């Protein structure tokens, strides 16, 4: 059976694609570099266009989405769709436990979610046909055509759901509409045909967060937060000096606009600068402003701190936040091929340690939002790219499961939707959908309806041809209404 997730990656080294000797992003070593860093971030914030929409009367978004992206593709059988009566090679190493919903069982390593499953919806019949990873785009765009490994010409041009929401709804004044905390660019979807101004804002660069190595060992140091830091001698007042900035903007246009990273540096660009140096965004990304007991409640793990940041951001007005739950930038920490394929791990030793952490993160976030009265306005979704093979022992490992784009599970909470239910079912061995398939288009339509984005809306491609934002005949998931 094929060992590779991406040609040449696993066979050589799990991280050869990192290009460690190639500088990535913007190097902050001079006054111009710091302006580039700030302005490139503002392009990701979609600030100039967002502010222009404000002037045109676009209404700020009051609802939001938090996507917990389990990068690599979690096993559905070993999480939300256990098969306890099947042989070990099918059911895997974990036992099922009862939940708050009578007759519904989930994995033993998700006890906190089991105790409050009446506040969740579990979907056991999600259809990941055509979904892949590196890049992980089909579910994040709601479009089966968003598969660059099949269509390298335009597979990466389909916009992220978060980018569509940015285009049609925006965010509250002073905040970016679409924020991601991501380990690798191949883990998330971007603005595509909408333009780079609708790319997500990289929250990693705006918040100080604990750093881990590629297998999840804490390095006991902090990273990030440089977005709101400025070089010596470059003060907030200097940045707000519009006259002095004009020359820098003109020079930057030659360097950056050629790559499409900045669009239309017009009168709204000054307001974009004010966003970066202003207090609202800085405060939202500053975890030190959170009460100590709340920070302890979430815990000091990187993913838990990001979940707390996500809660802060949606309350401050961000419309869509994606958390990339991965320690490394290759195919993802949840890509549990087997214990002999580090750092991916198998089911028992790879997935096993992830689940209690995820269980705590998910239930703490949902409970906190509920207690603060914001859960009905915030749709929380936990999912990955696809499921995993119903039978263990793939890729020369007795413990791993391979990719399985025939069926997967996901869970949802909040958003003012009807929860406390299981939607759909898999066949006896978890290998295929038995009832009620849910497609990427259905998920996108559900999100757009929650966010108040018209389902009949369209966007134009690079040739001016319109495309519907809801693809593949997607419909809002009726059971959630």
Same domain flag for 246 and 142:
no
**Above 90 in pLDDT, residue 243?**
no
Same domain flag for 454 and 393:
yes
More confident residue, 306 or 275: 306
Same domain flag for 425 and 276:
no
- How confident is the model over 315-344, as a mean pLDDT? 93
More confident residue, 226 or 182: 182
Among 282, 314, 348, which residue terminates a domain?
Answer: 282
Residue 461 lies inside a defined structural domain of this protein: yes
- Range with lowest mean pLDDT among 50-64, 224-238, 412-426, 452-466: 50-64
DSSP assignments along 20-77, one per residue = TTS--S----SHHHHHHHHHHHHHHHTHHHHHHHHHTTPPPP--EEEEEE-TT---ST
Amino acid 272: pLDDT: 54
How many Å apart are CA 308 and CA 300, to the nearest integer? 10
Residue 18 lies inside a defined structural domain of this protein: no
Residue 1 lies inside a defined structural domain of this protein: no
- How confident is the model over 440-461, as a mean pLDDT? 97
Per-residue pLDDT reduced to its tens digit, 363-405: 999 999 999 999 999 999 999 999 999 999 988 888 999 999 9
Amino acid 172: pLDDT: 74
With cut-offs at 50, 70 and 90, classify the pLDDT of residue 277. Answer: low
Bond into 343 cis (ω within 30): yes
Same domain flag for 258 and 160:
no
- How confident is the model over 438-455, as a mean pLDDT? 98
Same domain flag for 447 and 461:
yes
Instruction: Share the mean pLDDT of the chain.
Output: 84
How many Å apart are CA 385 and CA 210, to the nearest integer? 26
Same domain flag for 152 and 210:
yes
Same domain flag for 319 and 245:
no
Among 282, 303, 321, which residue terminates a domain?
Answer: 282
Containing structural domain, residue 257: 26-58+234-282
CB 264 within 8 A of CB 47: no
Same domain flag for 266 and 379:
no
Amino acid 231: pLDDT: 56
Same domain flag for 406 and 337:
yes
Per-residue pLDDT reduced to its tens digit, 342-371: 788 999 999 999 999 999 999 999 999 999
Same domain flag for 50 and 74:
no
Same domain flag for 121 and 140:
yes
**Above 70 in pLDDT, residue 13?**
no
Residue 373 lies inside a defined structural domain of this protein: yes
Residue 3 lies inside a defined structural domain of this protein: no
Among 267, 282, 297, which residue terminates a domain?
Answer: 282
Amino acid 276: pLDDT: 57
**Above 60 in pLDDT, residue 245?**
no
**Above 70 in pLDDT, residue 190?**
yes
% of residues, the chain, pLDDT over 70: 77
How many Å apart are CA 198 and CA 177, to the nearest integer? 9
Residue 16 lies inside a defined structural domain of this protein: no
Residue 30 lies inside a defined structural domain of this protein: yes
Amino acid 179: pLDDT: 96
Number of domains comprising the chain: 2
* Neighbouring residues of 403: CB distance < 8 A, sequence distance ≥ 6: 5, 73, 132, 386, 388, 389
**Above 60 in pLDDT, residue 7?**
no
Same domain flag for 302 and 410:
yes
Residue 175 lies inside a defined structural domain of this protein: yes
**CATH number of the structural domain spanning residue 193:** 3.40.720
pTM of the model: 0.84
**Above 70 in pLDDT, residue 21?**
no
């Amino acid at each position: 059976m094929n060992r590779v997730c991406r040609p040449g990656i696993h066979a050589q080294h799990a991280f050869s694609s990192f290009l460690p000797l190639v500088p990535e992003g913007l190097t902050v070593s001079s006054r111009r570099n710091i302006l580039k860093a700030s302005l490139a971030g503002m392009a990701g914030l979609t600030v100039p266009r967002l502010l222009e929409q404000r002037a045109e009367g676009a209404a700020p978004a009051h609802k939001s989405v938090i996507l917990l992206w389990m990068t690599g593709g979690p096993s559905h059988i070993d999480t939300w769709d256990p098969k306890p009566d099947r042989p070990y090679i099918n059911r895997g190493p974990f036992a099922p436990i009862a939940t708050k919903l009578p007759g519904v069982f989930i994995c033993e390593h998700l006890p906190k979610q089991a105790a409050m499953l009446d506040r969740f919806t579990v979907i056991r019949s999600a259809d990941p046909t055509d979904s892949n990873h590196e890049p992980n785009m089909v579910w994040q765009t709601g479009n089966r055509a968003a598969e660059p490994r099949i269509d390298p010409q335009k597979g990466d041009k389909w916009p992220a759901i978060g980018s569509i929401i940015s285009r049609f709804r925006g965010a509250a004044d002073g905040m970016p509409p679409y924020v991601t905390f991501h380990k690798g660019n191949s883990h998330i979807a971007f603005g595509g045909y909408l333009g780079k101004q609708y790319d997500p804002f990289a929250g990693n660069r705006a918040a100080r967060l604990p750093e881990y190595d590629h297998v999840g060992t804490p390095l006991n140091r902090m990273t990030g937060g440089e977005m709101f830091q400025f070089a010596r001698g470059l003060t907030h007042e200097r940045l707000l000096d519009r006259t002095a900035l004009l020359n820098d903007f003109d020079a930057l246009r030659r360097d950056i606009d050629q790559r499409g990273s900045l669009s239309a540096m017009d009168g709204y660009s000054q307001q974009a600068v004010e966003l970066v140096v202003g207090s609202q965004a800085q405060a939202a990304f500053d975890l030190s402003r959170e009460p100590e007991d709340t920070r302890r409640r979430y815990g000091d793990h990187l993913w838990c701190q990001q979940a707390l940041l996500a809660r802060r951001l949606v309350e401050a007005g961000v419309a869509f936040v994606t958390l990339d739950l991965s320690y490394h930038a290759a195919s993802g920490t949840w890509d549990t091929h087997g214990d002999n394929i580090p750092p991916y791990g198998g089911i028992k030793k790879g997935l096993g340690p992830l689940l209690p952490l995820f269980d705590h993160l998910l239930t703490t976030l949902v409970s906190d939002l509920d207690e603060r009265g914001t859960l009905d306005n915030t749709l929380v979704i936990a999912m990955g790219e696809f499921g995993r093979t119903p039978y263990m022992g793939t890729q020369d490992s007795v413990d791993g499961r391979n990719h399985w784009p025939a069926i997967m599970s996901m869970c949802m909470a909040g958003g003012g939707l009807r929860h406390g239910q299981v939607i759909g079912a898999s066949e006896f061995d978890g290998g295929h959908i038995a009832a009620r398939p849910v497609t990427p288009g259905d998920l996108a339509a559900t999100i757009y309806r929650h966010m108040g984005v018209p389902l009949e809306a369209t966007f134009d491609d690079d040739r001016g041809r319109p495309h519907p934002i809801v693809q593949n005949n997607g419909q809002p998931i009726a059971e959630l209404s």
